[in-house]
Amino acid sequence: MNRIRKKYNRIFKESFIEYKLESFEISKEELSEKKAKIQDFINFIKSGKIKDYNEEQLQARFATEVFEKTLGYKNSFNETWEYELERKTDMDGQKPDIVLGEFNSNESKVMAVVELKDFKYYDLDKKQNRVGDKRTPVEQGFGYAPKFGGNCRWVLISNFNEIRLYDKNDENQYERFYIEDLEDDFELKRFLYLLSKENILDRKLENLINLKIKEEEKIEREFYTRYKTIRSKIVSQVIEDNRTYNADVLIEKSQKLLDRFLFIAFCEDKNIIPANSYKTMVLSSNENVTKHELFTMLCRNIDKGNKQKGINKFNGGLFKYDEILDDLVLDDIIFTELITLADYDFNTDVDENILGRIFEQSISDLEELKNDALGIETDKKKGKRKKDGVFYTPSRITRGIVEKSIGEYLNDKKLELGFEKLPELTDESIETQRGLSAKAEKHLTFWREYRSKVLNIKVIDPACGSGAFLIAAYDYLKKELDEINDRIADLKGRTQELFDGDEMYDASLENEYLIKCLYGVDLNPESVEISKLSLWLRTLTNDKPLTNLDDNIKSGNSITEFDFQEEFLEVFVKGGFDVVIGNPPYVKQERLKDVKHVLEEKYLTFMGTADLYCYFYELGINILRSGGILGYITSNKWLRAKYGTNVRQLLNKYFIIEIEDHGSMKQFSDAEVNTNIIITKKVNRQNTQVRIVLTEEDNKIFETSQSNFSKDGYLFLDNRLLKVKEKIDTIGKPLGDWNIEINYGIKTGLNDAFIIDKEKYDELVKKDRKNKEILVPLLRGRDINRYSKNYADLYLINVHNGYKIGIEKISEINIDDYIFVKEHLNSFEPKLSKRSDKGKTPYNLRNCAYLNDFKNQKIIYGETVTGASFFLDNDGFIIDKTAFMLLGESIKYILALLNSRFIEFAYKTFYAGIILSSSGFQYNKEYLKKLPIIVPTQEQEEYLTNLADKMLESKEKLFKLNKLLELAINDKNYEMQLELREKIEDLNEEILDTDYAIDSYVYDIYGITVEERALIEG
C-alpha cells in the first residue's frame, strides 16, 4: 500500500526556509558526502527490506547512520558525546529511544528527545493500541521532554522514514522530512540545516524560531498600521461627503468596503480571480464613470459571476446589492488608497491567521471611530474588546483545543465504527483477481461510514469573535477529510474514480458540507460579519459560490437571551452539538450587576461573585448532546476560587479528559489573565485518570484520578504527592478546628488620610501630646518577614467607631477632642466623606469588633507573599488590610509550623486557592483554615516552641546588629564594622541551623520519608 503524506502545519513558511537556505554554507562536495552517508538507509527503505525489521532491531543503525554520520552528533565512545540511546528521564526513569544533547562523565544536558516507531507505523498521529498507554507517538514523545528539565526544547518523532521536528511548546506545528526524499538536494539541505548538531545544540534553531516570529510580527504590525490609516481616511471622507446618513451607518459601510477590497486582493493572490482584476477594472482611466461605479460593477461580477472576465459567482452575502453603500458619494482617491494594501502578498506575508488577528483588533477600532464621530472620548486601554472581555486567541491555542476536542469526538466515532477491529492490510492483501479482497472491503466500508460522521459533525463556538476557533475547526475537519479520501483512493486504486459507488456523496460540495458543520454566536454584530468573512477566505475556490452562513453564525447574547434550540433547531432535533469550543469572554462579576437576576434564574452554577466565563461552562454542557465534547480556554481561577465551587461541582459530574493549567504563564499578549484549557466529555463521571499538563512546570505531564477533584478545589497531583496529602490529612487537624481566630487588618477606605509617616506623627504629637492616644504603630503585609518585622515608622490614626471588651462598651472616638488630627483629615475632603468604609462620621473608621485583639499576643502575616512570612507580635501593632492576624492556643508551636518548609509547601500545593505567579501566592483565610496541623504531644509542642523562641530572639538580635553596623559604616569605624560582621555571620549560621532543626522536626512528626522530602525540595 502506498503511504499517504498528510497535509500539516509547518513551523516555518516555505518562503522563509528557502530564503534561509540561500545563505546556508555547504559546498557541493560536502552535500555529496552527506548524501553518500545516508544513501544506504535510503536504499534500505526503497527496497522494502526495512519492513522485515522491528523498532528495536533498527534503533542503533538509525542513530548511527542518520544522527551520527549524516547530522554529525558524536557517539558515547568519545570523551564528550552528543547522543545516547535510551537514557532515563530525570523524573521517573522512563526512556525515550534516543536523546540529543551535551554529555560527559560528570554532567548531562538533554536538548532533544527522539521517539521511534516501527516502519509499519505510518500514521504517527494514530493512537497506540498498547495496554495502559493509548497515546499517539507524538503524545508519547512530548511526555518525555519536560522530564529532562528546561534545556530540552525539541521533540523528534520518526518511523525510520518520516521524521518530524517539534518545538516542545507547540504540538500542533512541525517540520517533516522523509529519509527516502534525501536524494533531492533541496530536501537534504533543509534536513541538514534544521537538524544538524550545530543548529540543535548551539541553539541556532531556537534563534531561527525567534527570528521567524519577529519577522511575522513586523509584517503584521506594518500591514495593520497601513490598514488602520487607510480606513481612518476612508471613514473621514465618507462622513464628510454623506451627511444624510448617521455616523454609525457610514462607518459600518466603510468597513464593508474595506472587507470587500481585502477579499478581492486575497482572491487575486490565491488565483481565485484573475490577477490585477482590481487594477484593471477599477483603476483604469475612464472619465465617464467614477471609480466607485467601477468598483460596484466589480463587486456585482463577483456576486453574480462573469465568465467573460474569468470570475466565478461567489454570492454569500458580502457582495450582494447594498443600496446604501452603492448610493454613497465616494471620492476616487479612496480607491487609489486601497491599492496600497495590495502590495502585501496575501498568499504568504499576510495569511488568513494574520488577517484574523487584524479583523479582531478592528472591532475595537470601529468603536473608537464611532466615538470620535460622536465626539465621545475613548479609553484607549479599554476598547470594546477589552470591555467585553474579548481577546484574540493565539493560533497554537485554537489548534490545540480543536485537535483535542474534535479529535476526541471523532476518535469515539472511529471506535464505534470498529476501527480497532479492522483486519491488517498489506499491499498484497488489498486486491484479488475479482476486485477488492474481503479485508479491503471492510476498510472501504469503514472509511466511507467515517467520512459521513465527519461531514455531519456539529461544532459551535458560543462566543466566536472573529472566528478563530471556527477556522481552526474547519482546518482540522478538512485535513481529516483529505486523509479519509486518500485512504479510500488508496484502497480503490488511483486509476478508478475516487467516489465511484458513493451514490449519496458529491465531492465537489465538500467545502460547503464542512463549513455547514460550523456554528457561532457573538454579542457583537461586527464580529459575526468578520467570522463569516474569515471562513469565506479560508474556503475560497474558483468554481464554487460562497456558502451562505446566515443560518450558522448569528448575533446574540449567548448567556442571557439567545435561544440556541430555536435558532439552531436542526441541531437540537438530533440532541444538540457534538463539540463546543471557545474562549469565553473575561468579564468581571462587578460588570454583571444588571443581569445577575437573570443569571440566578437561568444557571444552577450561579454565584454572585462568579465572573462571566463561569456561566459559559454550564451553557456549553447544556447545548452539548450526550457524549459530546467541551473544549474551552478560560481563566483558571475557577479551579480553586470559592466562586468556582458550583462550576467544579457541575463539571465533576462528567468525564474530564484533560486539564492544561498555565499557572501564571500568560497566554494572551493583551490580557493579564491566568488561564487553563479543559477538555470534558458529556458522559457520567467514570473516576478514570485525567491527563494533567502543567505549563509553568516545563509542561510537566501526568495522570491523576478524577476522584481527587471536589467542589472545594481541583488539585493536580501525581500519585507520589497524593500519598503525601493523604498522610497529612489523616494525621492533622484543620487549623480552623483549633481554638484560634483569624482576622484581617484595618480597612480605612482612605489610607492616604489615616496612615501617616513618622514626620506627620511627630508634627501632630508636638502640637498636642494627647494625639498620641489615637496614633498607633502600624505594620503592612510587606513589612512582615519570617520571625521578624521591618517596621517602616508608619502609624494609624485610630479614630475607631466604638467596640466591646466582653460586656463593656467602648464609645467611638470624638474627633473634636483631637482638633489637629481633625485638621489633617479635613485636608482630604471630599474623598474623606465620600468613602464607603466609614463609621458614624466621616472621621470615624468602620466598625471593627476585634479591635482590642490587636493589643494581644498574635501571629501576623502578609496576605500576598513569595514565601512563608509569619511573625509573633507582642507589642500591640495594628495591621492594615494587606495583613492578617491569628490568635489562640499553642501560638508559638503554630508559628514554627507555619514558617516551616514543609507546611509552606503543603499549603501552596494542596490547599492554596490563589496562586499569583510562579513565586507569589496568597495566604487566604479560608484556605489556611484547611491546613492540617498535627496535634502535638507535650514534648513536641515544647520542642518547637523553644525553637520558635530562639528564632524570634535571633532575628531581633540580628536586626539590632545590622542597625549597629549601619552606624559603624556611617562613622567609618572599620574595627567595629569587622567585629559586627563576624557576629552577624555567626548569628546567620545559628539561624540557619535553627531553621533546619525546625524543618527536620516538622518532617519527622508528619512522617515524611526521605524520598518524599527530596520530592518536596525539588
Residue-wise pLDDT for 198-214, tens only, equals 889 988 898 998 888 88
The predicted-structure confidence for 575-602, as pLDDT tens digits, reads as follows: 999 999 999 998 888 889 899 999 999 9
**Residue 644 CB neighbours (<10 A):** 26
Query: Before 146, cis peptide (omega within 30)?
Result: no
pTM of this prediction? 0.77
* 815, 817, 822, 823: CA torsion to nearest 10: 160
CB 451 within 8 A of CB 484: yes
Q: Of the ranges 288-292, 362-366, 505-509, 940-944, which one carries the lowest mean pLDDT score?
A: 505-509
**CB-based contacts of 350, cutoff 8 Å, min separation 6:** 219, 220, 223, 344
pLDDT in tens, 276-315: 888 888 877 677 888 999 999 999 998 888 888 888 787 7
* Residue carrying C-alpha cell 495583613: 883
The pLDDT score that the predictor gives to residue 45 is 92
Report the alpha-carbon distance of residue 78 to residue 94 in Å, rounded: 25
Q: DSSP label at 415?
A: H
Residue 49 makes CB contacts below 8 A (sequence gap 6+) with none
d(CA 468, CA 461): 9
* Fold agreement (14-202, 395-423+434-500+507-716): no
Alpha-carbon gap, residue 765 to 763, rounded angstroms: 6
Percent of the chain with pLDDT over 70: 91
Predicted local distance difference test score (pLDDT) of residue 431 = 61
Kindly report which listed range (64-73, 666-675, 746-755) carries the lowest average pLDDT score.
666-675
Dihedral angle of Cα 374, 380, 384, 386, to the nearest 10 degrees = -170
Superfamily of domain 395-423+434-500+507-716: Vaccinia Virus protein VP39 (3.40.50.150)
Whole-number pLDDT of residue 215: 85
Residue pair 741/850 in contact by the 8 Å Cβ criterion: yes
Tell me the C-alpha distance between 995 and 944, whole Å.
11
Report d(CA 552, CA 513) in Å as an integer. 12
Domain boundaries, given as residue ranges, for the chain: 14-202, 223-387, 395-423+434-500+507-716, 737-1004
DSSP string of 191-221? HHHHHSHHHHHTTHHHHHHHHHHHHHHHHHH
- 352-393 tens-digit pLDDT: 777 777 777 776 677 677 767 666 555 554 444 444 444 557
Beta bridge partners of 859: 872, 886
Provide the grid cell at 791. Answer: 517596621
* pLDDT tens per residue across span 409-453: 999 999 999 988 888 776 655 665 456 788 888 988 999 999 999
- The domain over range 14-202 is classified in CATH as 1.10.260.40: no
- Would you place residue 632 in the very low, low, confident or very high pLDDT band (cuts 50, 70, 90)? very high
Which of these, 64, 70, 111, lies nearest to 87 by C-alpha position? 111
Q: What pLDDT, on a 0 to 100 scale, did the predictor assign at position 217? A: 83
Q: Within 10 A of 106 (CB to CB), how many other CB atoms are there?
A: 5
The 10s digit of each residue's pLDDT in 782-839 is: 999 999 999 999 999 999 999 888 888 889 999 999 999 999 999 999 999 999 889 9
At residue 308, the pLDDT reads 86
Is 50 exceeded by the pLDDT of residue 269? Answer: yes
Q: What integer pLDDT is reported at residue 871 of this predicted model?
A: 98
Residue 494 has pLDDT above 70, yes or no: no
Residue 272 has pLDDT above 60, yes or no: yes
At 4, which helix (H) or strand (E)?
none
